[in-house]
Structures are given as C-alpha cells and as structure tokens.
Amino acid sequence: MWKRRQISAEEVAKIEKARQETNNKNVDRRLKALLLHAAGEKHEEIAKKTEYTKSYISELVSKYCNSGLSSLVENNYKGNNRNLSFAAEAALLEPYKEAASAGRIVEISEIKRAYEEAVGRPLERDHGIIYRVLARHNWRKVMPRSKHPNKADDEVIETSKKLTTESMN
C-alpha cells in the first residue's frame, strides 16, 4: 500500500497565502489541488474538482514534497534561448554585410563557421539557426530572375510584339 504524503498545517498556511497572492489561474488550480490533498481528499475526488488527472495530482504532490512550493508557483520556462545576444549577432554579421554590399557573394557556410567559433561549439542539431539569425537581422536571399533555357532572344520577342500589334490595326 502506498504511503500518503502528509502536508503540515504551516505548509498549508503557506500554500493558502501563495494562492491568494497569485494572479495565474494555472498556478491557482495546482495550489487548489495541493490544498485538497492536504485536507485528506482522495485523488479521484480532487481530479473531479480540478479537472486534472489522478496521475498529474500525484505528480504535483510529489513535486511539492521534493522541491517545495517554488516548483509549483514560479515560471520554469526560460526565454531567449539564443546563443548570442542581438548586438553580438550584429557584430558577427557586420563583415559579411560589408562584403555583400560590395558585391561579393556571401555563403551561409562561412557565416555558420564564424557563428560556431563565436559560440564555441558545433551547431549540428540545429540546422536552421543561421537562417533565423539572418532573418532577425533583416537579411534576405536575393537571386537573379530565373530564365527558361529555351527562351527566345530579346530581339525576337520585340519583333513578335511589333508583328502582333501591327497585324491588329
């Protein structure tokens, strides 16, 4: 038989205080489930009241007992997972920007090598990172207009235009 994890009266007071202070409805639901567990309700009943699954309620209680209240209240998601700051990326791209404005063809493989050196590790798992860096700095792929291999010469096109407009008059 599983041993039910107990939550003391002081901890219940802390949980209630945290529930009053939070503005996040998801955090509030998690804390409500924890309070219902502390009140002695079974996980099936808590699941009906909070619309969580029984296994998730067990996970919440375990997480609280092992890591404390901060593991349920604080935002665990981190933002800006970039390797370099925006300014560092701009400084890295500056020589390539000058080369491109001078008319030289800039290859992505060169930029990727420089980026890997700046980061200090290879970027094997993330193949599109260089393209996202370039998009952040408003770079775009500029290509000449495509031409069909069997396209007629410009002289022939102009001649056919003249023939068509004269024949209609």
pLDDT in tens, 52-71: 999 999 999 999 888 888 88
| Residue 52 and residue 92 share a domain | no
pLDDT band of 46, cuts 50, 70, 90 = very high
Tokens of 32: 């409500």
Exposure string for 78-96, b = 16+ CB within 10 A, e = fewer:
eeeeebeeeeebeebbeeb
- Kind and range of the H or E run holding 119: helix 108-119
| Residue 53 and residue 91 share a domain | no
Has residue 154 been placed in a domain? Answer: no
Does the pLDDT value for residue 129 go beyond 90?
no
Range of the domain at 120: 86-136
Q: What is the pTM of this model?
A: 0.48
Q: What is the mean pLDDT of residues 115-119?
A: 91
pLDDT band of 140, cuts 50, 70, 90 = confident
Cα 79 from Cα 11, distance rounded (Å): 31
Q: What is the mean pLDDT of residues 11-27?
A: 91
Percent of the chain with pLDDT over 70: 91
| Residue 64 and residue 14 share a domain | yes
Cα 74 from Cα 30, distance rounded (Å): 12
pLDDT greater at residue 130 or residue 76: 130
Q: What are phi and psi of 26, to 5 degrees?
A: -70, -40
Q: What is the number of structural domains in the chain?
A: 2
Q: Is 1 helix (H, G, I), strand (E, B) or coil?
A: coil
| Residue 107 and residue 59 share a domain | no
Has residue 47 been placed in a domain? Answer: yes
Has residue 155 been placed in a domain? Answer: no
Residues 6 or more apart in contact with residue 31 via CB below 8 angstroms: 15, 18, 19, 22, 72, 73
| Residue 92 and residue 69 share a domain | no
Has residue 31 been placed in a domain? Answer: yes
| Residue 107 and residue 65 share a domain | no
Percent of the chain with pLDDT over 90: 40
| Residue 13 and residue 66 share a domain | yes
Residues 6 or more apart in contact with residue 19 via CB below 8 angstroms: 28, 31, 32, 35
From the centroid of its chain, how far is CA 151? Answer: 45
| Residue 100 and residue 47 share a domain | no
Has residue 166 been placed in a domain? Answer: no
| Residue 68 and residue 91 share a domain | no
Of 73, 95, 114, which residue sits at a domain end? 73
